[in-house]
Amino acid sequence: MNRLTFRSLIAALGLIVLLSLPSIASADGVTIKWTLSGVSFDDGGTASGSFDYNALHNTFSAIDITTTAGSAFAGATYTSLSGVFGSSSTGMLLGASGGDLKNTPLLFLLFDTLTDSGGTSLLAGIGEVTCDLPDCSSSTELRSINGGELIGTPLSIPEPSAVLLLGLGLVALVVGAAIYKVSLA
């Protein structure tokens, strides 16, 4: 067998083996989309929307939560974490960050621990408040959460089979080029 053909076949087999291995989970962790379900307040208002959470890095993103008006609060839309207090896998504070927070609405959610596998997490409470002072060292609770839950679903991730198909296509190109070279010799 020609030395070039043998080397090409060995290289092609090596590529097949490497690309056939299952993909290893990203070091970035899994991001879960958490959607509010059945969230109601004691004044008749409701909350709906979702956010993404990465448990490995304890980061929230794509926040889009809206509360509706009730008898005690007008409702608001929240798209970011507040810098007033830290957030974690068991709670988050949404609203304006920094600056003068007087009369600023904040949404404080406490829940069961958010995981990197999704599922259901019950809301443990708190609610919507307004800061009484510019530094939010004092606040008036306007309404409390009666109940509801968060439903987590993993965001789509690339399928290993797509990587395998790409790898097989590359191997076919390498083998085809090697055969073509041998036929010219």
- Least-confidence region, from 81-90, 147-156, 173-182: 173-182
Looking at residues 134-150, what average pLDDT do you find? 85
28 compared with 143, residue with greater pLDDT: 143
- The three-state DSSP-derived secondary structure of 54-118 is ECCCCEEEEEEEEECCCCCCCCCEECCECCCCCCECCEEEEECCCCCCCCCEEEEEEECCCCCCC
Which of 56, 49, 61, 47 is closest to 29 using CA atoms?
A: 56
Q: Is the pTM of this model over 0.75?
A: no
What's the pLDDT at 179? 74
Q: Residue 52 CA to chain centroid, in angstroms?
A: 3
What's the pLDDT at 85? 72
Q: Which structure tokens are listed for 87? A: 């957030």
What's the pLDDT at 139? 78
What's the pLDDT at 141? 74
What's the pLDDT at 184? 65
- pLDDT tens per residue, range 2-45: 565 666 666 665 656 655 555 444 445 788 999 999 999 999 99
For residue 10, which phi and psi values (nearest 5 degrees)? -65, -45
Looking at residues 121-142, what average pLDDT do you find? 83
Which of 60, 29, 59, 53 is closest to 153 using CA atoms?
A: 53
Q: Where are the domains of the chain?
A: 3-23+159-184, 31-154
- pLDDT tens per residue, range 73-131: 888 999 999 877 778 889 998 987 667 778 888 899 999 888 888 899 998 888 898 88
Q: Are 74 and 45 contacting, i.e. CB atoms less than 8 angstroms apart? A: no
